[in-house]
C-alpha cells in the first residue's frame, strides 16, 4: 500500500485536500513538483483580481483529468500558500500525482 504524497491532507468530505504553493506570473503553466509539503503550481496569470486563482484551479484539473468544477479553493485566496479540495481522485491520488512528484 502506498502512502499519499506529503502535499495531500486528509479531508472529511468526499475529496482530497492538497496543499499548494502558487507561483503567479510564470512563463509556463505547470505542476512543478513538490516543494516541501506543498504541490508547486506555476501559472502565467498575474496575482491580481482572482485570475491567478482561476488558473491555479485549471492547471491541476487539466493535468489530473478532472473537471474544473471538482476543484475548490478552501483557503489562501490572497496568499501563495493555498489549500484546494479535489473531488473524484481519492482512490488513485498517488498514481495521478506521481508523474509530477520528482524526488
Delineate the domains of the chain, giving CATH numbers in brackets.
8-98 (3.30.1200.10)
> How far apart, in whole angstroms, are the C-alpha atoms of residue 81 and residue 60?
15
pLDDT score for 3: 64
Query: Hey, what's the cell of 25?
Result: 506570473
Say if residue 93's pLDDT is above 70: no
> How far apart, in whole angstroms, are the C-alpha atoms of residue 29 and residue 11?
27
Cell 508523474 sits on residue:
99
Query: Is the CB of residue 15 less than 8 Å from the CB of residue 44?
Result: no
pLDDT score for 50: 84
pLDDT tens digits, one per residue of 12-66: 677 788 999 999 999 999 988 888 899 999 999 998 888 899 899 999 888 878 8
pLDDT score for 103: 45
Q: What is the pTM of this model?
A: 0.81
pLDDT score for 58: 92
pLDDT score for 1: 46
Give the β-pairing of 81-86 and 71-75.
antiparallel
Cell 471538482 sits on residue:
70
Amino acid at each position: 500500500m502506498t502512502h499519499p504524497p506529503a502535499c495531500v491532507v486528509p479531508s472529511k468530505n468526499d475529496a482530497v485536500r492538497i496543499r499548494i504553493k502558487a507561483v503567479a506570473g510564470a512563463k509556463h503553466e505547470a505542476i512543478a513538483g513538490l516543494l516541501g509539503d506543498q504541490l508547486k503550481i506555476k501559472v502565467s496569470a498575474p496575482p491580481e483580481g482572482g485570475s491567478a486563482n482561476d488558473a491555479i484551479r485549471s492547471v491541476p484539473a487539466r493535468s489530473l483529468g478532472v473537471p474544473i468544477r471538482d476543484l475548490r479553493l478552501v483557503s489562501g485566496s490572497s496568499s501563495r500558500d493555498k489549500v484546494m479540495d479535489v473531488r473524484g481522485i481519492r482512490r488513485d491520488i498517488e498514481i495521478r500525482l506521481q508523474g509530477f512528484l520528482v524526488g
